């Protein structure tokens, strides 16, 4: 069985987690790849992972681009939910990234949810 790519790219001797991410980012990997590699090689807690990966916005945008290409008809809300799960961020932060990635296609109105039943229906 072949090893996943992040297992084939270990950190070099003395390489810090930020330098390792910088090298992987320069190679064109997305944030999910960086997150998995950091967790595997450095065993960082979630807060340290987030602090490290916040320094690599291009890697995050590459991940968003990949998600958008996999499902081009995905709504902004669904994209934000997927980002929040994949990259362990709040939904509001994920919404900001989804809007920043493709502001022309997504509008903030896509995040407004109108109830279709319940109290809203009773008020009419």
The domain ranges of the chain are 5-103
User: In this predicted model, what pLDDT tens digit does every residue of 76-89 receive, in sequence order?
Assistant: 889 999 999 999 99
- pLDDT for the residue 5: 87
Q: How many CA atoms lie within 13 A of 112 on its CB side?
A: 4
pLDDT band per the 50, 70, 90 thresholds, residue 118: low
pTM: 0.77
Mean pLDDT on 50-72: 93
- pLDDT for the residue 4: 65
C-alpha distances in angstroms, 53 versus 45, 49, 66? Answer: 12, 6, 17
- pLDDT for the residue 50: 92
Contact status, residue 76 vs residue 99, Cβ threshold 8 Å: yes
Which tokens go with 97? Answer: 């990234």
């Amino acid at each position: 069985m072949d090893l996943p790519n992040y297992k084939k790219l270990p950190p070099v001797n003395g390489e810090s987690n930020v330098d390792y991410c910088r090298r992987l980012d320069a190679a064109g990997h997305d944030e999910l790849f960086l997150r998995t590699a950091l967790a595997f090689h450095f065993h960082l807690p979630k807060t340290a992972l987030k602090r490290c990966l916040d320094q690599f916005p291009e890697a995050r945008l590459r991940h968003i681009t990949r998600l958008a290409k996999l499902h081009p008809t995905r709504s902004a809300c669904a994209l934000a939910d997927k980002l929040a799960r994949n990259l362990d961020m709040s939904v509001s932060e994920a919404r900001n990234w989804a809007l920043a990635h493709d502001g022309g296609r997504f509008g903030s109105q896509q995040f407004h949810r109108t109830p279709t039943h319940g109290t809203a229906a009773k008020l009419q």
